[in-house]
Amino acid sequence: MAKYIFITGGVVSSLGKGITAASIGRLLINRGLNIRMLKMDPYLNVDPGTMSPYQHGEVYVTDDGAETDLDLGHYERFTGQPTSSRSNFTAGRIYWDVLRRERKGEYLGHTIQMIPHITDAIIASIRAVAEEGPDVVIAEIGGTVGDIEGLTFLEAIRQIGLEEGRENVMYVHMTYVPYLKAAGEVKTKPSQQSVAKLREIGIIPDALICRSEVPLEDDVRRKMSLFCNVPYESVIEELDVQHTIYEVPLVLSEQGLDEIIMVHFRMVRPPPKMLPWREMVETIKHPRGSIRIGVVGKYAELQDAYKSLYEAISHGGIAHQIHVEIIKISAEDIESGRARDALADVSGILVPGGFGQRGTEGKVEAIRYARENRIPFLGICLGLQCAVIEFARNACGLEGAHSTELDPKTPYPVVCLMEEQEKVVDLGATMRLGAWPCRIKPDTQSHRAYGALLISERHRHRYEVNNAYREQFAAGGLIISGQSPDGHLVEMVELADHPWFVAVQFHPELKSQPNNPHPLFRDFIGAAALHDGII
Ligand code: GLN
Q: Which atom of ligand 1 is nearest to the CA of 380?
A: 8
Nearest CA to ligand 1 atom 6: 461
Asked whether the domain spanning 289-532 has the same topology as the one spanning 3-280, the reply is yes
Q: Average pLDDT, whole number, for the chain?
A: 95
Residue 428 in this model has a pLDDT that exceeds 90: no
Mean pLDDT of 63-72: 95
- Name the closest-CA residue to atom 8, ligand 1: 353
Q: Which tens digits make up the pLDDT trace of 508-527? A: 999 999 999 999 999 999 99
Q: What pLDDT, on a 0 to 100 scale, did the predictor assign at position 256? A: 95
pLDDT at 50 over 80: yes
pTM of the model: 0.95
Q: Where are the domains of the chain?
A: 3-280, 289-532
Query: pLDDT, tens digit, for every residue of 303-329?
Result: 788 999 999 999 999 999 999 999 999
pLDDT at position 323, please? 97
To the query of whether residue 509 is one of the catalytic residues in this protein, the response is: yes
* Residues in contact with ligand 1 (CB, 6 Å cut-off): 353-355, 381-382, 405, 460-463
171 CB-near residues (< 8 Å, 6+ apart): 6, 8, 157, 161, 198, 203, 204, 205, 206, 207
Q: Which fold has domain 3-280?
A: Rossmann fold (3.40.50)
The answer on pLDDT for 422 being more than 90 is no
Residue 298 confidence class, pLDDT cut points 50, 70, 90: confident
Counted residue by residue, the chain has a size of 535
Judging by DSSP bridges, how do beta strands 501-504 and 377-380 pair with one another? parallel
Q: What average pLDDT score do residues 30-52 get?
A: 94
Out of 381, 386, 396, 416, pick the active-site residue. 381
Residue 10's pLDDT is 92
> In the annotation, is 386 catalytic?
no
Counting from 1 in the atom list of ligand 1, the atom nearest the Cα of 460 is 9
- What is the model's pLDDT at position 300? 72
- Residue of 424, 462, 489 best suited for mutating to test ligand 1, as the one with most atoms within 8 Å of CB: 462
Higher pLDDT, 357 or 439: 439
Can you identify the CATH homologous superfamily of domain 289-532?
A: Class I glutamine amidotransferase (GATase) domain (3.40.50.880)
Q: How far is the CA of 407 from the centre of ligand 1 (A)?
A: 14
Compute the distance from residue 461 Cα to the ligand 1 centre, in Å: 4
- Predicted confidence at residue 263, as pLDDT, reads 97
User: Residue 514: what pLDDT?
Assistant: 97
Distance CA 482, CA 491 (A): 5
Which residue minimizes the CA distance to atom 3 of ligand 1? 461
Q: Work out the percent of the chain whose per-residue pLDDT is above 90.
A: 88
What pLDDT, on a 0 to 100 scale, did the predictor assign at position 241? 87
Structure confidence at residue 488 (pLDDT):
94
55-61 long-range Cβ contacts below 8 angstroms, 24+ apart: 56/304, 57/302, 57/303, 57/304, 57/305, 57/307, 58/304, 58/305, 58/306, 58/307, 58/308, 58/309, 59/460, 60/307, 60/308, 60/510, 61/433, 61/434, 61/458, 61/459, 61/460, 61/507, 61/510
- Kindly state the average pLDDT of the residues 228-236: 95
Query: What's the confidence (pLDDT) of residue 425?
Result: 78
